[in-house]
Amino acid sequence: MILGGLLACAAAASAQSNAIEKHFRDRLLGKVVSLKTFRKASRLEFGQDDQLKNKGAIGSWTIYSQVFVTDVRLSVSRMRILGDRVVHHSQRGQPKLVASRSDLNAEIEIELKPGATIPDIEFALLNVFAGSEGIATYVPEYWKEYFGGKPIEKCQSRPILSGTVKASRITEQPKPQYSEEARKFLLEGVVELEAEILENGRIGAITIMKPAGAGFDEPAIEAVSKWKYTPTTVDGTPACVISKMTVNYEFN
């Protein structure tokens, strides 16, 4: 009788586990999920505290924020979500980046507490994936305006009113790196930026005005932030100015 009772309990637990797995397969398969962290690792492992255990280099949201789900597997102690990275990239004639499923694989593993129920797992997913807020909350400041956020203030406290202006000229212009991901995709792109040229000729705040996506934008920001200019002067006095800058990538 005891053995029969144990077998019945095991069967009930297995049926419950299968029902939970089916629930999440129905909910997630064929859908795109958005991560709150943009790590470059192909495998992301989250602990029971919902914290990422295998932290690595952070990449661009345009490559590492979204995953097209191809499989969901549930065991007693963990959930595994398998899929393909979704790459956001520019396309001629489109005002915004477009999304394309890539061949970059991703595996997301979430450690579960013993006896985790559907609400428990749903709560864990909310801590790993962005909800209705989208990924705008989690991108760097220079992306905020692209997502409809408040523009970064530039030169607001130092306006040029009048006088004889001598324009700045560039003196140092490090080239941006062509990302390995973009090289893999054989993509080209143009990144349009708006940046402060400070009174000392260095670069201040930068905003992405028109992105290229596919990992192009962050190297462009990094390179432009190191550019140096002779100061713009008004009647001989250095002034802060706002400049439009363009970074072109051509595959070679």
Averaged pLDDT for residues 193-221: 95
Secondary structure (3-state) at 128: helix
Rounded-to-integer distance, Cα 26 and Cα 129, Å: 17
Q: Tell me if 231 sits within 8 A of 200, measured CB to CB.
A: yes
Q: Which pLDDT belongs to residue 17?
A: 74
Q: What is the pLDDT of residues 134-190, one digit of tens each?
A: 999 999 999 999 999 988 888 875 555 567 889 999 999 999 887 777 777 767 789
Instruction: Read off the pLDDT of residues 36-76 as tens digits, 9 standing for 90 and up.
Output: 999 999 999 999 888 899 888 999 999 999 999 999 999 98
State residue 2's pLDDT score. Answer: 57
132 or 180, higher pLDDT? 132
Domains and CATH numbers, the chain: 17-139 (no CATH), 143-151+164-249 (3.30.2420.10)
The three state secondary structure string of 86-107 is: EEEECCCCCCCCEEEEEEEEEE
Q: Residue 115, Cβ neighbours under 10 Å: how many?
A: 9
Q: How far lies 147's CA from each of 61, 69, 86, 105, in Å?
A: 12, 24, 18, 26
List Cα–Cα distances, 132 to 97, 117, 211, in angstroms: 19, 23, 23
Average pLDDT over the chain, rounded to an integer: 88
Say how far apart CA 130 and CA 135 lie, in whole Å.
6
Q: Tokens 């962005």 — which residue?
A: 130
Q: Which residues contact 108 (CB under 8 A, 6 or more apart)?
A: 35, 43, 44, 46, 67, 80, 81, 82, 83, 128
Asked if 38 and 65 count as a contact pair (C-beta separation under 8 A), the reply is: yes
pTM recorded for the entire structure = 0.86
Please tell me the distance from the alpha carbon of residue 148 to that of residue 132, in angstroms, as a whole number: 15
pLDDT at 92: 86
For residue 16 the two structure tokens come to 């419950």
* Cα–Cα distance, 233 to 171 (Å, whole number): 16
